[in-house]
Amino acid sequence: MDTFKSFEDSLYSVNEDCFEDIALKLFRFQAQYNEVYCEYLRYLNCKPEEIRSLEKIPFLPISFFKTRNIQTGNWLAETEFTSSGTTGANTSRHLVKDLNFYLELSEKIFHKYYGTAENYHILALLPSYLERTGSSLIAMIQHLINKSNSEHSGFYLYNYDELVQKIEFLKDGRKKVILWGVSFALLDLAEAFQLDLSQCIVMETGGMKGRRKEWTRQDLHGYLTNRFNVKSIHSEYGMTELMSQAYSSEGGYYETPPWMKVLIRDINDPFSVVKGRTGAINVVDLANFHSCAFIETQDLGRIDQIGRFEVLGRMDNSDLRGCNLLVE
């Protein structure tokens, strides 16, 4: 019998061979027990028992998180993640049944790509996130900071001088430094200081938040690599509506954990999956078993030959979001 526990247990052993089978089981489970998703499928005249492949699953538009409680089953939320949005805009709300599950999952994903957090001093330059409540990113970074066991790890607002002094103090030490910053704040820092961060990892996330004119990812990373003297800028791709994250270490292409997959849909037909060309991003996150695992985002992207994905920007007339970048 499919239960939350069974889906959680299968999460850490999922691989390419069994991904679709687990996804189809979760789809049918959520089609039955997720009231909003069930209503959406009925509107589409979709019969879940007739869906036989991952590409035929209807993905829930991400905008539903702005107006409805996306919840599979009946339970009380331990916490609620909210998106940043813009002034006057509706924000997404993601009800979270088990905060500790999210934190441990985020740590597992980080460990897969970067190793244990204890190997790092984590300096977080995330002013727009710190200035509000309900940020899933802040919860994740705080957890990693705690796990780093470093008295030097911590958050920074706009105190760039103090941050630069801390980096200079730490960068040649035994532990490596991760400078994890929202895009506009990294640009502000880069314009004010030309730093040698060649011994550090610079992790970009979160876009401009309406604070600055949008840059293409290529221009943003090119400028930051030059000003910070690093070979590449790393990126983290996460959303309020997702439990999992993807990471990019170079070239702008993101790798996903085994239980997460990106499909590209036709921008003119949301129910048609395309291959080999640019389209809109659909995300399957099997860790979203408490909410909805099949999310139709408003991001534009493409997938390379080995399954990594690139984010190219936002669809026209979509809300500004954390990962907003102009299409190249």
Domain 4-76+254-314: top CATH class = mainly beta
Q: How far is CA 97 from the centre of its chain?
A: 19
For the stretch 254-276, pLDDT in tens is 999 999 999 999 999 999 999 88
Task: Provide CB contacts within 8 A for 60, sequence distance 6+.
Answer: 36, 37, 40, 70, 292, 294, 295, 296
pLDDT confidence band for 210 (50 / 70 / 90): low
* Cβ neighbours around 51 below 10 Å, total: 17
For the stretch 92-133, pLDDT in tens is 999 999 999 999 999 999 999 999 999 999 999 998 788 788
Phi, psi of 5 (to 5 degrees): -65, -40
- Identify which of 48, 95, 107 has the alpha carbon closest to the alpha carbon of residue 70: 95
Looking up tokens 């532990």, which residue turns up? 175
Contact 46, 52 (CB under 8 A): no
Torsion sign over Cα 29, 33, 36, 39:
positive
For the stretch 126-176, pLDDT in tens is 987 887 889 999 999 999 999 999 999 999 988 899 999 999 999 888 999
d(CA 301, CA 153): 33
Q: How far is CA 19 from the centre of its chain?
A: 20
For the stretch 13-32, pLDDT in tens is 999 999 999 999 999 999 99
Looking up tokens 């170079």, which residue turns up? 250
Q: Does domain 100-237 have CATH number 3.40.50?
A: yes
Burial 291-318 (b: 16+ CB within 10 A, else e): bbbbbbbbbbbbbeeeebbbbbbbeeeb
d(CA 224, CA 84): 24
> For position 316, what pLDDT does the model report?
60
H or E element at residue 71: none
Task: Provide CB contacts within 8 A for 133, sequence distance 6+.
Answer: 82
For the stretch 303-324, pLDDT in tens is 998 889 999 888 765 544 444 4
60-68 average pLDDT score: 97
d(CA 130, CA 143): 14
> For position 286, what pLDDT does the model report?
98
Contact 64, 30 (CB under 8 A): no
| Residue ranges per structural domain of the chain | 4-76+254-314, 100-237
The token pair that represents 280 in the structure block: 């809109």
d(CA 236, CA 137): 10
- Identify which of 321, 326, 323 has the alpha carbon closest to the alpha carbon of residue 83: 321
